[in-house]
Structure 1
Amino acid sequence: MSGYLTMQAFSRLTPRFSTQIRSVSTKVRQNDQSTIVPYLRHKYEERLAQHAMLARQNHASILSLSSDNLDHLPETDLNSSKVARMQSDIEHMFGFGLVSSKDVFINNELDLSRVEVYGFDYDYTLASYTDRLSFTIFEMLRDILVEHFRYPKALSNLQFDPSFAIRGLHFDITNGWLMKIDSFANIQLSTVHVGREPIKDVNDVIHQHRGVHISPDYLQKNMYQLNDLFSIPQACLLSDILQYFKDNNIDFHPRYLADDVQRASDIVHQWSSLQSRGVGGQLHNRVVRDMSTYLTKQPSMVRYLEDLRRNGKKTFLLSNSSFPFIDAGLQYITSSPDWRDLFDWVIVSSRKPDFYRTERPFRRTSEPTWNAVTEFQPGKVYEGGNLKDFSRFTGVSGSKVIYFGDHVFSDLIDPAQQQGWKTGAIIRELSSEIDTRNTPDYRHTLSWLLRLERLLNEAQAIDGGRHVPGLDALLENWRHERREIRDQLKHVFNKSFGSVFRTHHNPTFFANKIRKFADIYTSAVENMEGYPQDYCFYPDRAYLPHERSIETLVDSGKLHQARSLK
């Protein structure tokens, strides 16, 4: 079962509603086991025909289904009441159910009328980088390894593949496995890669961990997570090198490769020479020399910051980057040398997350002074520092503050836990993932997957331990189809690793941290401009599994429809 369901295949579903299901259902109720499998098979075919017909109306395909899958289906009636109810649900799904990539999403209740101070990280929060940056990072890392760490010169031919890695992956530095894990630290086996290739035998992974769960101790000591967008080219290079060593029978230890790539990354990002004038590492100097290649101007972001100031809100910039780098970048982004007027306080080279955990003092950046900073003076820029002094100097703390950043661990966890700050995660990938989820192909395929899973649950319940003849084979066929559909839904996001935010049915480890430590999240800071500054974000009611069936139906007003569809 591969490919797309074609429009020609849809056209064969001419109107004629089968009446066989009613008589078969009656026999099943009379406990005639010989009718159970035919009943389930016919119900499957009927539901598939209905989903296929509705997909056609939306000019969509059901991924993983080809025209061959429709040859034996019962024909369905566009005017049947059951199809009409399903169509109503689909129309809701493809109309009001569409999500905008500019929306703000809510994990925890947040009343903006109570927020007095807005803080922002710089990289990938205020600064929006172009795709070219990842190519440059990859090339710099590659060249450092070859020219300074004596890696094989053949590696100079490696090129960055933007379609390979995603954010939030874990690299197993003991085994050399790159993988995605879910919110319960379970491995999504279909994502485990050795180099650029899927692992040949997933049983090796299962044997290593006595299952698919990674223990907290192993996770902490042997797994390295790729938490920010800067790490994606790093993951790609690491996988490319590992693949090269395997292909050329070069003995290696994955930990050494990971350590060397990390050392090269430190050189790229940190100060590299006195001539850099404090801008930063090689990457920062490259960006400053060619702003238009790496940065995008953001008038809507500037407008949002100006609006905050105009309405009496305090604002601050808190970043690990150096002042010369930020100064050059914000002059370009805002098209103004006076960008500091957008902030009450500017803190650079802050060394987050140590900023939240230590008592390192602040220093002034404007002149060579060695005396202690005991207060913030208007118009001054400070470096280093710590959260305790920041709260003391500004007089702000707790839920009156909201801080936006792109890195959950460096930016958001500590201020949320230690000071009770409200937090907002800026996740750039959110935009493209939402666009994918909004496509008719994806939504109709997901709808069919959910229907298939309900059929599986129903079939297992019918068995009731009676070992119905032919039922095991039917269940295995459906489970095989389910696996193929889930793979298709994974591939539409990323062929190797799928969605940044989901495994097949659970949030990813990365998404769970966002859910836990970010009150809200969105794809860009300027999306906040669409909400009044006294807006209250209310999260959806969170359902436990034992609550979901009845409460979601009650909340949606579809209790009557649900009874009718059974």
Structure 2
Amino acid sequence: MHPKKLPQDVNPKGVFACNELDLKEVQVYGFDYDYTLACYKPSMDYLLYNLGRDMLIKKYKYPEGIGNLEYRENFAVRGLHYDFEKGLLLKLDSFLQIQLGAVYRGLHPVPDDEVLRMYKNRIIPIAYVEAPPKHSNDGVRRTKMIQLADLFSVPEMGLLCNVTEYFLRNHIDYHPEILFRDVKNSVQSCHPIMHQLVVENVSEYLEQNKDLRRFFGRLRKADKKMFLVTNSPFHFVNKGMQFLVGENWKDYFDVVIVQARKPRFFTEESRPLRIYDEVKQTQLWDRVTKLDKGVIYLEGTVKQLQDMTGWRGHQVLYFGDHPYSDLADVTLEHGWRTGAIIKELTHEIETLNDQKFKENANWLQMLTGVIEEHQDYEGPEVQDELDEWMKERDELRNEIKSVFNKQFGSVFRTYHNPTYFSRRLFRFADIYMSSITNLLEYSTSHTFYPRRGVMPHEYTSYFV
């Protein structure tokens, strides 16, 4: 009972639309740096993990034994939540439901019955997951979970799970929230060391993208303005951009702002821009009244950027890799258009294009339809048959999940719902893609149209 025709392959270099976006309206292209213009090799994960692990021992006096814990590549995926009350790493869907089978304490999955006993429900209360909106009167922060939504947090999760496992195995009592904060602070305090090591050996850590220069050239030719706003320091960005684009990389940009401290750059109103002196490698005290090409700025706010340039609203398209700190505020507060760079899309699309995956996904759809149609028949034979079908469906779902990532499955969906990460991505990004240079496949006057999805009450499909 297998279908004759499987869906066509998805283009790994595609640009995918959540919202209609007409590039003719866009006059200004803005970029984040890390994991947007600069994409890192797996060696970056190992570097951050090792630096963070050593810092835990040196600064926080963690047991010497954790020095033997090696980084496990492909253990965690971006977008998971860490429950710092219970010490669990888990995956939530767009309805805040826990994906059973994707709840981990240390390196081991927690059995479903234990998860349900701990949470008393599969759905997590929203106050546990999301802080109250900025403008609400409820200033109390009751959140008990933190989402790890950028790629720099993947090695953090690896370290967190490894140390948790070490404590459990050695019967060492620990406080999950203290451990989480120590791991986060250790990895983040190592960023200056990481910056220095990357600067000394760029090609070891940075993926070359030969199309980036051509992409910038094309935007310039189309008379588009360009700016860079990054949290990273200048010497680090400069070395990376020289490697990616060439010595004259700054010529492409109308404004360059480093050490911006996003998301505060997008939310604070009064933090003055400073000029950075490249020669003396220090910030100047001069008042900034206009933004000049070729000058490096640091800190500041988006309000100053908009006021000094006149760039506003839908004429600005900003690209970043973090749906919240890069994209949420600029789209919700300032009406900018947004693009997300999601590096994992390459692996996800390769998996979707696999022949066996397509067959399994198609058969799962058909099997679910058969169960749905026959579930109201009564009688013991019917129930036995339904149980068999349900068993097969569960096995198929697990097989489909594990081909993306053995522990947590796809970044974008739980078994059938979008993940919590997807929901936020689709809300805050007008378009998303695996690499910024995927845009070279489209003209600078292209309009991206979102697919007309089928709502639950509409036809089962628009295709005849």
Structure 1 and Structure 2 fold alike (TM over 0.5): yes
- Distance in 2 (alpha carbons) for counterparts of 1:422 and 1:319: 18
How far did 1:356 drift?
Answer: 0.8
Following superposition, the deviation at residue 368 of structure 1 comes to 4.7
Give the equivalent residue in structure 2 for 1:213: 123
Question: Would the alpha carbon gap of residues 248 and 548 (structure 1) be closer, same or farther in structure 2, given more than 3 Å must change?
Answer: farther
Q: TM-score, normalised by structure 2?
A: 0.94
Q: Give the TM-score, by structure 1 length.
A: 0.78
Report 1:99-248 matches (<5 A).
99-199=10-110, 201-220=111-130, 221-248=143-170
Asked if 1:379 is matched to 2:294, the reply is yes
SS at structure 2 position matched to 1:346 = strand
What is residue 250 of structure 1 aligned with on the other side? 172
Q: 2:252 aligns with which of 342, 352, 363?
A: 342
1:342-398 Cα distance to aligned partner (Å, 9 max, x none): 111101111100011112111111265323211112321111111111111111110
Cα separation, 1, equivalents of 2:89 and 2:284:
47
Correspondence list, 1:153-552, <5 A: 153-199=64-110, 201-220=111-130, 221-269=143-191, 281-334=192-245, 336-359=246-269, 360-366=271-277, 368-461=283-376, 463=377, 467-549=378-460, 552=461
**Cα distance in structure 2, aligned partners of 1:197 and 1:124:** 29
SS in 2 for 1:493: coil
Alignment root-mean-square deviation, CA: 1.1
Q: Whole-Å Cα distance in 2 between the matches of residues 207 and 219 of structure 1? A: 19
Any idea what the Cα deviations from partners look like across 1:530-556, whole Å, max 9, x if unmatched? 10111111111132201142xx2xx31
2:294 counterpart letter in structure 1: G
Q: Name the aligned partner's letter for residue 346 of structure 1.
A: V
2:338·2:428 contact (CA, 8 Å) conserved in 1?
yes
Question: Would you say the 8 A contact 2:212–2:244 is kept in 1?
Answer: no
- The answer to whether the Cα contact below 8 Å between 2:150 and 2:321 also exists between their aligned partners in 1 is yes
Deviations 1:286-324 (A, max 9, x none): 111111100122220111011101110000011011111
* Mapped contact 2:259–2:299 kept (Cα < 8 A): yes
Q: Which string of whole-angstrom CA distances, capped at 9 and with x for unpartnered residues, describes residues 380-429 of structure 1?
A: 11111111111111111100000000011110000001111000000000
DSSP 3-state at the match of 2:60 = coil
Structure with more contact order per residue of length (Cα contacts < 8 Å, sep ≥ 6): 2
What is the aligned residue count?
A: 447
Where does residue 140 of structure 2 map in the other structure?
none
Look up the equivalent residue of 1:243 and give its one-letter code. E
Please give the alpha-carbon distance, in whole angstroms, between the structure 1 residues aligned to 2:324 and 2:187: 18
Matching residue of 1:75: none
Asked if the contact 2:41–2:205 (Cα under 8 Å) also holds between the matched residues in 1, the reply is: yes
Percent sequence identity over aligned pairs: 41
SS in 1 for 2:190: helix
Whether the aligned pair in 1 keeps the contact of 2:275 and 2:295 (CA below 8 Å) is: yes
Alpha-carbon separation, structure 1, partners of 2:100 and 2:82: 14
Query: SS at the partner of 2:284?
Result: coil
Structure number with the higher helix fraction is: 1
Give distance in 1, aligned partners of 2:101 and 2:119: 16
Shift of 1:202: 2.0
Report the 3-state secondary structure (helix = DSSP H, G, I; strand = E; otherwise coil) of the residue aligned with 1:193: strand
Q: Which runs of 5+ in 2 are unaligned?
A: 131-142
Structure 1 residues 404 and 250: CA distance shift in structure 2, 3 A: same
Residue identity opposite 1:417 in structure 2: L
Partner amino acid for 1:180?
K
Q: Deviations over 1:64-88 (max 9, x none)?
A: xxxxxxxxxxxxxxxxxxxxxx42x
Moved more, 540-549 or 171-180: 540-549
Q: Is the 8 A contact 2:275 2:286 kept in 1?
A: no
Q: 1:215 to 1:368 in 2, by over 3 A?
A: closer
